[in-house]
Amino acid sequence: MKLTQSGGRTAAGPADWFTGTVLIDGIRDPDDQSVIGCAHVRFTPGARTAWHTHPYGQTLYVTDGIGLVAKRGGEVREIRPGDVVYIEPGEEHWHGATADRFMAHVALQEADDHGQMVTWLGHVTDDEYRGS
């Protein structure tokens, strides 16, 4: 068993990866014991990720608020606390808060053999965010 004491710092989500204010609390990074990366991510109203992919997929567990998620070419779907979203490996997608509510989720993903967990793409446009 390995216990990691709390003490990490909340980090602002980089503008290259997010639109709006996003706060990230790292839970674990891949290391020599596990390839799993995990973070608790909080989105202010209207905030969202850029388009991105994960080499081995991603699981989102919504903890608070109301959010949105979409895959490239798919409809924008609403997500709520307790919902679990699985994103397929290599699937282009985005997720974030609705325009008038915050949203938080725990994100879990695996690193590939090079330590890569995510490939960031372009920002989600306002039209894509609105589903129009």
Across the range 99-106, mean pLDDT stands at 98
For 36, counting Cβ atoms within 10 Å of its Cβ (0-12 exposed, 13-18 middle, 19+ buried), the class is: middle
Q: How confident is the model at residue 3 (pLDDT cuts 50, 70, 90)?
A: confident
Domain ranges of the chain: 18-124
**pLDDT attached to residue 23:** 98
Condensed to tens digits (0 to 9), the pLDDT of residues 108-132 reads 999 999 999 999 999 999 999 998 7
User: What are 29's two structure tokens?
Assistant: 């990074």
Cα-flanking dihedrals φ and ψ of residue 114, to 5°?
A: -100, 5
Name residue 26's amino acid. G
Beta strands 48-49; 22-28: pairing state: unpaired
Q: Which CATH architecture has domain 18-124?
A: Sandwich (2.60)
